[in-house]
Structure 1
Amino acid sequence: MRLVLFMAAVLTPVAALAQDAGNIPWNRSLTVTRTSSDDDIRNVFRSLLQANGLSVAFAPSVKQKVSFHLENVPIEQAFTQLVDEHNLTYSYNPGTKTVSVNAATGGGGSTADRKAAAFVTLNSVTYAEVVQAINNLGLGLGGLKYDNASRTLAISGDADRIKQISTLVENLDSVRKRQGPAGAKLGPEEVKVIPLRFTDVGPSTRQFQGKTVTVPGIADTLRTALGLDDRAATPAGSDASSPAFTAQYGAPRISIDPRTNSVVVQGSPRAIAAVEKIISQLDRPLQMVEIEVLIVTANVGVARQLGVNWRGSQVNVSTPYSTAIDTGTQPNTSGGGAGGGTGQVTNGANGQLFSSNGLDALSLLPAAAAGATTASFVIRGGQAVIQAQLQALASKDRARILSAPKLVTLDNITARITRSQNIYVQVDTRSPTGGGLGGVGLQEIQTGLTLEITPSIVPAQSDRDQSLVRLNLRAENSAPGTGSFGQIDVNSQEVQTNVLVPDADTFVIGGLFDDSQINSTSGVPYLKDIPLLGELFKTERSQKSLGETIFFITPRIVDERSVLQRDIAVKEGSADYIRRARAELNDNGMENGKPQKPKTRRISVSALEEDE
């Protein structure tokens, strides 16, 4: 509401008041919006009349200062109001299209005879409601003029009365803003509890494989539609509705009760009915989507190893010194029997001798290794022994892991499939600044396969079209690495995509490869680098592995009626159970418990599909 007091000294005992402005050819479509502060009244008249296409002339006595605010007021009403409030007269000459403005003649008056005026713009309240309130309070309707086009109320008379009426209009406007334009017709406020059937009133949180998954509820949508704040529940008495909703239905107060999964609405019957209609449109069962996922993980590994290792020992009989060399042979460490052979220096009849009791090719074979072929050759003497160990390995591994999980989820709700391997590593529990008692703790690292799918149903627009399912996919495959210094490396591959898949069709995600190749050479320095001869002094190892993970994803829109018919159990022994059993017997060639001649059925084969 805009309130502007327009104060002017008007002498009441005057002989002549302003003439009727009806003889001036006014343009009824013109309105004026203007704010003046201590402005010369002649400039105001000149602006108004020039806008109407007329000229103006002033008497020397017309020189008042005026302050006012006009907003979308018809130009004729603005001119008349200025003339009346400032005790002026005017005349119009149609030949020259000139308006002459003069001061009214008459004697002066006392200060008590002066009048005041004010312009009040009605924003939300109507003029009829203002008149009713003024009559109820006994303020009287004298000095009131109302322009319906600009919704402007002119109040003239005593300054105290003007202030009272202006305050009244301001209060009525404030109340109507909270109630809406139809607030007087909304009726008394009521309270209604609306329980939800299919949706949650607030977000629900689920824990899955150490991660938090939040499923949204209806509260967020209500906050947006009704202008609620971000709190979980709006206390009663708060003005929490959107301007558009308030303008039509009034301002309801909304609160939610997670305990009973209900929405509590307080307001007029119309507002409650409008909120209930919104909730009924939102609280509907979502369609379900069955997602069948075929996960194939294939790994191929090839390893080769070929090399020669040497060991030798020399003992001098006449001296206590001995020499030995080892290039990496692997003796049997199982102990006992032939595998426990040893070599040592002993005192014999002819001095110190090298004893190789149990030291033979069999005892020097390394512990058995799967897929490895090892040969050991030993040459013994009285004072020396030489061993040559030949090791060869060639292996090829193939592995395939097949998983076929199947799940059902709601439309636009994320489904998650995980096949994980959790690893715990030691971590330092001291603070980053080095303070505290310190210590070692365990931290969990999740590795493995994770698949997140969010389906969205795209309904068919006609019977000829096929329904589609939009899939928001995220696939991640991670595996622990070798690491070093007590740390664990995690190797991962991740794919994120959005696709449109026809109902019951299959979508394939591939390309999650894990390819590694390790080649190593070890042996005697320098000797292993000699051409040809160096092959006797080195060992070569080669290992290569290749893995790939492929996803075959098939979404199917679930018909709730077929699910209910298929899943509802029929009590054994009931009439329905007996009828179903008889129907199955009839289909299998039995009628009333007796074999019947098989019925011939004609089958029309239109298409044959074979999946490998």
Structure 2
Amino acid sequence: MKKQSVFGVLCALCLSGAGHAAELPNAVVLYDGDVRVLEAPGVERVAVGNVEIISATMLKNEEIVVTAQQPGETTVQIWFDDDTRKQLSVVVAKANGYRQFGELKALLSDIPGLKIRTVGRQVVLEGRLSGEYLTRVKEAAKFYDNVLVLAEEQSGAATKADSGEVLAEVQAMLGQIPGIKIKSVGRQIVIDGDLHAVDMSRIDLLKERYPDVLVLAQPMSEFLAPMIYFDVRITEFAKDDVEELGVNWSTSINGPTLAFNADGGTNNLYRGQFDSAGGTFDALNQVVGGAGSHAYWGIASELTSRINLLEKNGSALTLASPRLSARSGGKAELTVGGQVPVVTSSINGPSVEYKDFGILLNIAPQLYGSDQIATHVLAEISQLDKANQVGEYPAFKTRRTENEVQLKVGETLVLSGLVTEDSQSTKEGIVFLKDVPFIGSLFSNRSGKANRTELVIFITPRLMTAGANSPTQQELERQDKMIETYQATFGSIDLID
């Protein structure tokens, strides 16, 4: 019985000692400058193997304060009040790998293909990078300890794993550019095509993000730039009549109108009937095509119809109606008028300079995308002003406007507000008597006339395309149809084509 009691006391003492030692870890990892507090119930004495690496201090509340002094490894011996001892391994690292991981990730996260991870106390940087990005990674790693750079330079724009992702990103950013070709050749992203200068600048910006993208695209030469033609109409209106008709040039837009008429006698050359295919056209023929008459129809512009009405009434005069053509990025000029010599004097003697007058129109278009046209428009109407000339030096009346506008293909630009007012005054009467003071008005008649006109310029840009929809092809087809209709009506007649 006595032996059993002694054995129980020894077991209790062993368990108590084991309990004190079990509360401490076997190893502790610190970073340079760190302080760690360890709970050690029953601690009596502490010994440090290398005091230059760490220092250990016992507190009255049975705690041990371990302070890292410099990088290295050492051990700590701890004795407890139950005559047990614990050996603690301490490692002091140069830097905190987790802190370095967060900082490096914030600095280098924008580099495509770079992977950052931690292995033990090391931060590992790996991946296939471009030369520029690899240099950036190595420069950043110099400021950190325990950073292992395993990244290597790649020969293409992307690795096999992320080439599809890079291709999708490039296509999303540049795919809408007309004429661009983006493809993946092996691990290389290739951009090709003949592009506008403004689009080439966008590719240069993308190269900053993806420096290894191979750009084979080149600026579009002037021979490959799309052709743009402008339907221009320069018309002078009587200001009062324009206001009475309620034409507001800033709000008037093209709109379709349907017209029909009945004639007493016509032929197929000058009047065309609706096709007898039933439906709406047959109904119109029944309404207006009776009594042997023929009906015709057409789509007309409301704006053009109003101008034609003013011209018929003598309230408008079309000064010019040209069609100008220019390449995108080029310039088109129109001059309708003449030149007048202007003599100037200098130290080398008199010289003659010719001054243009009349209608001057300069247009410089630039195509953006598929249907946006930015253009610089300069319009000038000038005429000689003999009433204000000085000696032999002529004077000019000039109306000029200069604009930078952006239009869609087919939209009409209306330039207005160039108003001119001319006044004339005449006096008639009996010779001598009309000049007598006070009573001269009884023998004379005064008349005055004021003329106010407004110059309006209509400009409609269109793309000149090849094939059936080109303006030249449409005019040729229209000419062929007129010849066929003429021959079908009057028989086979030799025509000079």
Q: Same fold (TM over 0.5)?
A: no
Question: Scaled by the length of structure 2, what TM-score is found?
Answer: 0.38
More helix as a share of residues: 2
